[in-house]
């Protein structure tokens, strides 16, 4: 089809001509400004010329080689530097360049290259430790970041990146453990952490909020009259943040109320121990907490002093205690902001005490099976 007139709603022909053609596997169509057919055909010929030039330009851009270093730099500029976990992303990009070679063309990276790099990364040892790093560390610091870089190269930068069966190179991880702090450990943590950081720990244990959610919390999201807090959680890259609401209980109010005059915007702040003239900070000023700053304080004051306990375990502690108290997984799911309830199911073990107590009450209500259970327990005690 060259140029044509379309039929309007009343059945008459349109006053101007339209064009419709394909070039390089793509369709180009639209109205011409002309009512004369020859003028419209000349207009269409010019559009075809422009389309061929556009297709050629796109092919040339796709064919332009890109090194892994160039890809990492561009990913950092467009994505990594803007994330709260920027330091972790920067470290991961360094591992990617080191293990695959920064001069390697991304078009040449295949599953064999990735599998070899994964094996070498897995054989490395954690800093300051004798044991090899975990499968989860390999996935988080190399394989998954590499997948995101190559995915962006293919989708956004229109590079001819090879298809990689990522399921074959993502290492299987152990089932996520749920480490709960005992009340004694909780007291020890609050004693070890610097005083101006204690409200953060208390808030995390009560609400189960993530580290990033805590340091980005502002007073505008604390709604005292309605007694709720708007929490902006993590969303998928390129997607809006997840928003959920948590109630301001008496415990939450006791934590936050004394902080309300510390800073005009940030809820959680720390006391500056040294001046920073460039930032306009004097010693003793209240400064908003940051993701990396809170991680550093935790590492200095707590990490290694409580056996196998990490900051994220404060979240586990909050939800495990709530499940144990209520036995309601759905309630915990709402507080946690989990999209899939299977994620919340890892806290179900805490409800076993309720199940055990219920079963015990049934046994104590009578019946032959219950009596047999009692006899079995008494017999085992005599033995």
Structural contact between residues 118 and 142, judged by C-beta atoms closer than 8 angstroms? yes
Choice among 1-5, 363-367, 374-378 with the minimum mean pLDDT: 374-378
Choice among 8-17, 145-154, 288-297 with the minimum mean pLDDT: 8-17
Instruction: Give the residue, 139 or 332, on which the prediction is more confident.
Output: 139
pLDDT score, position 367: 52
Distance in Å from the first CA to the final CA of the chain: 95
Whether 233 has a pLDDT exceeding 90, the answer reads: no
pLDDT over 70, % of the chain: 88
Determine the 3-state secondary structure of 2 from DSSP: coil
Six-digit token string for 171: 């290492």
pLDDT in tens, 149-162: 999 999 999 898 99
Whether 358 has a pLDDT exceeding 90, the answer reads: no
- Residue range 95-101: mean pLDDT, rounded: 97
Whether 343 has a pLDDT exceeding 70, the answer reads: yes
Between 313-326 and 329-336, two packed helices, what is the crossing angle to 10 degrees?
150
pLDDT score, position 272: 94
pLDDT score, position 65: 85
CA distance 254 to 222: 13
Mean per-residue pLDDT over the chain, rounded: 87
- Which CATH fold would you assign to the domain 183-354? hpI Integrase; Chain A (1.10.443)
pLDDT score, position 268: 98
Structural contact between residues 221 and 229, judged by C-beta atoms closer than 8 angstroms? yes
Determine the 3-state secondary structure of 67 from DSSP: strand
pLDDT score, position 7: 85
- Residue range 162-184: mean pLDDT, rounded: 87
> For residue 22, what are the CA distances in angstroms to 19, 26, 43?
10, 5, 15
| Cβ-based neighbours of 171, under 8 Å, separated by 6 or more | 118, 122, 135, 136, 138, 139, 143
Whether 381 has a pLDDT exceeding 70, the answer reads: no
DSSP string, 117-151: HHHHHHTSB-TT-SSBPPHHHHIIIIIHHHHHHHH
Q: 């990146």: which residue's tokens?
A: 161
Whether 351 has a pLDDT exceeding 70, the answer reads: no
Instruction: Give the residue, 370 or 116, on which the prediction is more confident.
Output: 116
* pTM for this predicted structure: 0.57
Instruction: Give the residue, 318 or 358, on which the prediction is more confident.
Output: 318
Choice among 22-26, 62-66, 252-256, 295-299 with the minimum mean pLDDT: 62-66
338-350 as b/e, with b when 16 or more CB fall inside 10 Å?
beeeeebebbeeb
Six-digit token string for 163: 């298809």
pLDDT score, position 354: 66
Choice among 129-133, 137-141, 142-146, 202-206 with the minimum mean pLDDT: 129-133
Query: What residue spans define the domains of the chain?
Result: 3-63, 68-168, 183-354
- Residue range 113-117: mean pLDDT, rounded: 97
- pLDDT bracket for residue 350 (50, 70, 90): low
How far is it between the farthest Cα atoms of the chain?
Answer: 108
């Amino acid at each position: 089809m060259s140029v044509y007139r379309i039929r309007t709603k009343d059945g008459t022909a349109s006053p101007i001509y339209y064009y419709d053609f394909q070039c390089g596997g793509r369709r180009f169509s639209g109205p011409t400004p002309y009512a004369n057919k020859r003028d419209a055909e000349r207009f269409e010929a010019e559009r075809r010329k422009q389309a061929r030039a556009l297709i050629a330009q796109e092919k040339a851009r796709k064919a332009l080689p890109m090194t892994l270093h160039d890809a990492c730099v561009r990913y950092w500029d467009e994505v990594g530097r803007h994330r709260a976990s920027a330091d972790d992303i920067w470290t991961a990009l360094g591992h990617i360049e080191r293990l695959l070679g920064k001069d390697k063309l991304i078009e040449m990276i295949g599953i064999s290259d990735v599998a070899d790099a994964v094996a070498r990364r897995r054989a490395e040892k954690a800093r300051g430790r004798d044991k090899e790093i975990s499968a989860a560390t390999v996935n988080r610091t190399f394989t998954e970041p590499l997948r995101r870089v190559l995915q962006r190269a293919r989708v956004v930068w229109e590079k001819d990146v090879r298809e990689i069966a990522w399921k074959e190179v993502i290492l299987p991880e152990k089932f996520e453990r749920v480490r709960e702090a005992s009340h004694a450990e909780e007291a020890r943590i609050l004693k070890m952490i610097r005083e101006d950081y204690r409200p953060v720990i208390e808030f995390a244990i009560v609400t189960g909020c993530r580290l990033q959610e805590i340091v980005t919390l502002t007073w505008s999201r604390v709604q005292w009259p309605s007694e709720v807090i708007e929490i902006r959680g993590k969303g998928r890259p390129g997607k809006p943040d997840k928003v959920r609401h948590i109630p301001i209980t008496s415990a939450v109010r006791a934590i936050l109320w004394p902080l309300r005059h510390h800073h005009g915007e940030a809820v959680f702040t720390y006391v500056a121990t040294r001046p920073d003239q460039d930032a306009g900070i004097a010693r003793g000023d209240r400064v908003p907490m940051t993701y990396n700053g809170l991680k550093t304080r935790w590492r200095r004051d707590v990490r290694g002093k409580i056996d196998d306990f990490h900051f994220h375990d404060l979240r586990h502690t909050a939800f495990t205690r709530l499940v144990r108290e209520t036995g309601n997984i759905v309630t915990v799911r709402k507080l946690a902001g989990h999209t899939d309830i299977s994620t919340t199911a890892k806290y179900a073990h805490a409800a076993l005490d309720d199940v055990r107590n219920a079963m015990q009450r049934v046994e104590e209500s009578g019946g032959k099976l219950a009596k047999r259970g009692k006899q079995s327990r008494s017999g085992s005690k005599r033995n």
